[in-house]
């Protein structure tokens, strides 16, 4: 049986059409598979913990690959980072048991969504944040988010196009924080849970921004959750603010 390797990777998703290989499109999966083939001569299929959308970033994406290569984890780590495009980096490579599956073995994930909350639009971070010019009440957002913590049916927070057998998920923590000093325009929303539906974090953030703008209140968020109806929740926040921070196994 071929050895199985677990890769922890980061990437800037700005110029990628998402994770999954697509014809004539630049994807993260395609970049890793092409680079692996250059190094080992093998055409492999790599599996990720999450299939991120176009424009979404990662600091802790986890990838699994079975390979007949005779290179060890350290050699693969060095070779991958030498040949991968500049917007993908391998943070670690380790050999794991053959029953490891990057998707199915994951028991938790942590996402961070970054909002640039200032009348002046961002320059250097424009591909990494959602620019919201209207001042947000981050304390109201933080307090309202507690309604979503726990095990619930999150059908109201799933976009069409990737329906799952169950829309029940558990969120263990949500934090909304504003930076201080020179970082005062930066608002970060951290969401941690055992799994996420399609666009779930982005819809949560879009809904919290409605509350931060004083257009909605906590009671509305609770009602939207209970409704199990996508039309009752807020907008889907744009992709560039989202980053997969960590995957737990």
102 falls within a domain: no
Is 104 marked as a binding-site residue? Answer: no
The Cα 41–Cα 84 span in angstroms is 15
* Residue that finishes a domain, picked among 96, 126, 143: 96
pLDDT digits (tens, 9 = 90+) for 103-129: 999 999 999 999 999 999 999 999 999
Q: What are the counts of helices (DSSP H) followed by strands (DSSP E) for the chain?
A: 5, 10
The Cα 146–Cα 149 span in angstroms is 5
pLDDT at 191 over 80: yes
212 falls within a domain: yes
103 falls within a domain: no
101 falls within a domain: no
Residues 123 and 222 placed together within one structural domain of the fold: yes
Question: What does 102-148 look like in DSSP terms, one character per residue?
Answer: TTTT--EEEEEEEEE-SSSPPSTTTTTSEE--SPP-HHHHHHHHGGG
Nearest Cα neighbor of 220 from 170, 177, 126, 156 is: 156
Residues 90 and 162 placed together within one structural domain of the fold: no
Q: Exposed, middle or buried: residue 115 (CB in 10 Å: 0-12, 13-18, 19+)?
A: buried
The yes-or-no answer on residue 24 being catalytic is: no
CATH number at residue 57: 3.30.70.580
pLDDT at 180 over 90: no
Residues 73 and 133 placed together within one structural domain of the fold: no
Residues 117 and 229 placed together within one structural domain of the fold: yes
Residues 57 and 79 placed together within one structural domain of the fold: yes
pLDDT digits (tens, 9 = 90+) for 45-100: 999 999 999 999 999 999 999 999 999 999 999 999 999 999 999 999 999 999 99
pLDDT for the residue numbered 2: 87
Residues 172 and 219 placed together within one structural domain of the fold: yes
> Phi and psi for 221 in degrees, rounded to 5?
-65, -40
Structural domain of 36:
4-96
What is the longest distance spanned by two Cα atoms in the chain? 59
- For 142, the token pair is 């933080």
Residues 49 and 112 placed together within one structural domain of the fold: no
* Residue that finishes a domain, picked among 96, 124, 148: 96
- For 149, the token pair is 């913590």
Residues 228 and 113 placed together within one structural domain of the fold: yes
Catalytic residue among 24, 34, 53, 127: 53
Residues 70 and 124 placed together within one structural domain of the fold: no
Residues 91 and 129 placed together within one structural domain of the fold: no
Tally the domains of the chain: 2
Rg, Å, the chain Cα set: 19
Residues 114 and 89 placed together within one structural domain of the fold: no
157 falls within a domain: yes
Q: Exposed, middle or buried: residue 20 (CB in 10 Å: 0-12, 13-18, 19+)?
A: middle
pLDDT digits (tens, 9 = 90+) for 82-94: 999 999 999 999 9
pLDDT for the residue numbered 13: 98
* Residue that finishes a domain, picked among 96, 127, 158: 96
Q: How confident is the model at residue 165 (pLDDT cuts 50, 70, 90)?
A: confident
pLDDT for the residue numbered 133: 97
CATH number at residue 148: 3.30.70.660
152 falls within a domain: yes
145 falls within a domain: yes
87 falls within a domain: yes
Give the pTM.
0.95
The Cα 237–Cα 113 span in angstroms is 9
Alpha helical stretches, state H, the chain: 28-40, 73-83, 138-145, 200-212, 218-227
Residues 92 and 115 placed together within one structural domain of the fold: no
């Amino acid at each position: 049986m071929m050895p199985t390797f677990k890769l922890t990777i980061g990437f800037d998703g700005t110029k990628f059409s998402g994770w999954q290989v697509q014809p004539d499109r630049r994807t993260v999966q395609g970049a890793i598979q092409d680079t692996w083939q250059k190094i080992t001569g093998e055409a492999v299929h790599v599996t990720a913990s999450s299939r991120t959308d176009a424009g979404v970033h990662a600091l802790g994406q986890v990838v699994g690959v079975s390979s007949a290569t005779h290179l060890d984890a350290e050699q693969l780590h060095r070779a991958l980072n030498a040949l991968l495009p500049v917007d993908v980096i391998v943070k670690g490579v380790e050999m794991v048991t053959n029953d490891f599956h990057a998707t199915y073995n994951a028991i938790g994930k942590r996402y961070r969504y970054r909002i640039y909350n200032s009348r002046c639009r961002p320059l250097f971070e424009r591909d990494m944040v959602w620019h919201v010019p209207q001042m947000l009440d981050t304390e109201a957002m933080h307090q309202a988010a507690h309604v979503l913590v726990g095990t619930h049916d999150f059908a109201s927070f799933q976009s069409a196009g990737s329906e799952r057998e169950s829309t029940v998920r558990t969120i263990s923590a949500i934090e909304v924080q504003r930076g201080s000093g020179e970082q005062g325009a930066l608002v970060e929303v951290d969401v941690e849970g055992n799994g996420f539906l399609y666009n779930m974090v982005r819809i949560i953030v879009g809904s919290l921004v409605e509350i931060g703008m004083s257009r909605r209140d906590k009671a509305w968020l609770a009602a939207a959750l209970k409704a199990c109806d996508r039309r009752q929740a807020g907008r889907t926040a744009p992709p560039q603010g989202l980053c997969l921070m960590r995957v737990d196994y």
